[in-house]
A = this chain, B = another copy of it.
Amino acid sequence: MAAVAALGLNLVGCKPKDAGSAVSGDAAEKVYVAPGKHDEFYNIVSGGFNGQMSVYGIPSGRLLKIVPVFSVFPENGWGYSEESKPMLNTSHGEVPWDDLHHIALSTTNGEHDGRWAFGNANNTPRVARVSLSSFRTEEILELPNSAGNHSSPFITENTEYVIAGTRFSVPTDNNADVPISTFKQNFKGYISFINVDKNTGRMGIAFQLKTPGVSFDLARAGKGKSHGWFFFSTYNTEQANTLLEVNASQKDKDFILAVNWKKAEEYLKQGKGRKEPAKYAHNLYDEKTHTATSTIMNEVITLDPKECPGIVYFIPCPKSPHGCDVDPTGEYIVGSGKLAAVIPVFSFDKLQKAIADKTFDGDFDGIPVVKYEAALYGEVQKPGLGPLHTEFDGQGNAITSFFVSSELVKWNIKDLKVLDRVPTYYSVGHLSIPGGPTKKPHGKYVIAYNKITKDRYLPTGPELAQSAQLYDISGDKMKLLLDFPTVGEPHYAEAIPAALIAKNSTKIYKIEENGHKYAAKGEKEAKVVREGNKVHVYITSIRSHFTPDNIEGVKLGDEVYFHVTNLEQDWDVPHGFAVKGGDNAEILIMPGETQTLRWKPNRVGVVPIYCTDFCSALHQEMQGYVRVSPAGSNVQLTWGTGKNPVAEAEKKVAKK
């Protein structure tokens, strides 16, 4: 623990002196969004270990939606419906969980365009794309040769690429069974460049860069003058494989990796890319068929920087850099060494000159190391303890989060002077300014995503909600407005003006455009079809009945597929569907959509089905029955709604 002790840091975080509230008198009014009014910003927040994205309204801090991405979501059938299961497929098979750390909102010309939100799977490496119209995950792409997809997703100015760097270097797939202690010889890092179709958003791996075995932490694309470059923070350049809290904190400086991706493109055109076998899943959700597909890919193109001079350079950066952020002009690259006593700010122009002049300090595993001073614009002195991340307010200032000293610190990008500091409660991780990573920050607020909660809310046992805090940054001084708890464990988040998204929101799916193979686009199309031991139920839902709602002739050993089509064409009228005793979740079906619940009956009897989403005053009556007979029974397959031979017969008797 020598390295840590030498810094004199309390690495578990300090409690600020004034742990109470220090809010100004108008804070309540500033965060209050009156009933019937809307929030000003969407805050798209990573869910961390819940594997999802959350949507909050700012300034109210209200949770508007959880979008299921990498983890199963029994509440709407994500990962359980036949349509969504392929989305969670990987080269390892179906994986029900992941750890989503970072959000990247699509940009055009370096500015928010409100089309897609990208998110990373940190555990089983993948990148997802979520539509900001439907707020549904439309695509998930697995990343081979990666382990711990932390440095991801980060995007270029026009969303040309989404990039993803490995956190845990591992042996390559072709040389996998090696002693862990041979890290330096056998473990490699990979950075994936994912191209994105301008119109559809569809992703593919353009190429992977093979790098020395280090840990990639975070990254940002260049912008403006530095467009064409990418900058990655790295740690564990010690290449330790055990007790990293000590062994990866030995060196005084780790590196920022600068990548000239435009030059990499040139090498690719020259045929320098190498096709290598690689197994990974590419999953797409189709809004017309309301169905996902998963395709296993078998090949990836890799570039080895050692064979392609001029595409990667290391810049020394004190110490274990976490955030690596680029200012709106693209000139300044801020490295936040989480164990460092200063914040180094690098100059893109100086970096270019140093590269041109070959002002190098040797190499690291064959990659040139630019001299620290040659790339350095300057250092922010005594900024705080444990700097993690920096965002920009669009007024020439940067705000950096400090985990150990629990504060946000505002400083001027040009003169590197500290302008203001405010405490956070407690131990802030990421921070978000609306538009903070773009060429044109929207400013106005900064949100701190804190890592320690303790006494901030009413206690809820050993496990507490993570906590966020909202500050007004419209004036010279940052002002705390609100504490709000968050779901999962937010890491990075982005905020975007409501006006860029709200107008495009999908409200319903048109029933006439429903291309689902088993859709019943009207009650007349409802039917039950047996194919061997598979029973396909084409069932419709509309307030407040199913067609059919009585089914007989199902037998033990059958697999029943309830293909439920919601015939509603009004916004906010989903129906739900569930069956008693199923080893499955429910499904929620949006207006005009078809979703399928598989059910394998496990006992003889009459089993209820019902609508799980309160839909009308007669929702409670929206139910039905399926009769399950023994295997080999001669009960015929029949179905219907509103037909009741026994009751009809009784009525006739009563009339007489």
Chain B neighbourhood of A593, CB < 8 A: 462
Contact B99 A586 (CB under 8 A): yes
A interface bracket (residues with beta carbon within 8 Å of B): 35 or more
Which of B42, B92, B404 is the one whose CB lies under 8 Å from A458?
B42
Task: Tell me the residues in window 376-413 of chain A with beta carbons closer than 8 Å to chain B beta carbons.
Answer: 386, 403-404
| Known contacts A92-B602, A147-B580, A580-B147, A243 near B586 by CB under 8 Å | no
Chain B neighbourhood of A618, CB < 8 A: 4, 11, 244-245, 249
Which of B76, B215, B243, B249 is the one whose CB lies under 8 Å from A549?
B243
Contact B502 A459 (CB under 8 A): yes
Contact A243 B71 (CB under 8 A): no
> Quick check: is A201 within 8 A (CB to CB) of the other chain?
no
Chain B neighbourhood of A480, CB < 8 A: 35
Among the stretches A129-137, A261-269, A437-445, the one at the interface with B is A129-137
Contact with B along A594-619 (1 / 0, CB 8 A): 00000000111111101011111110
Name the distance in Å between A361's Cβ and chain B's nearest Cβ: 20
Contact B488 A36 (CB under 8 A): no
Contact A74 B71 (CB under 8 A): yes
Main secondary structure on A side of the interface with B: loop
> Quick check: is A583 within 8 A (CB to CB) of the other chain?
yes
Report the Cα distance A578→B99, complex, angstroms.
9
Report the Cα distance A646→B185, complex, angstroms.
11
Chain B neighbourhood of A244, CB < 8 A: 545, 618, 621-623
Chain B neighbourhood of A581, CB < 8 A: 90-92, 95, 124
> Quick check: is A28 within 8 A (CB to CB) of the other chain?
yes
Chain B neighbourhood of A578, CB < 8 A: 97, 99, 123
Task: Tell me the residues in window 96-147 of chain A with beta carbons closer than 8 Å to chain B beta carbons.
Answer: 96-97, 99, 123-125, 131, 133-136, 147
Contact A489 B614 (CB under 8 A): yes
Chain B neighbourhood of A580, CB < 8 A: 123-125, 147-148, 168
Chain B neighbourhood of A38, CB < 8 A: 457-458
Among the stretches A192-200, A270-278, A296-304, A448-456, the one at the interface with B is A448-456
| Known contacts A92-B602, A458-B42, A170 near B612 by CB under 8 Å | no
Contact A11 B572 (CB under 8 A): no
Among the stretches A49-57, A203-211, A530-538, the one at the interface with B is A49-57
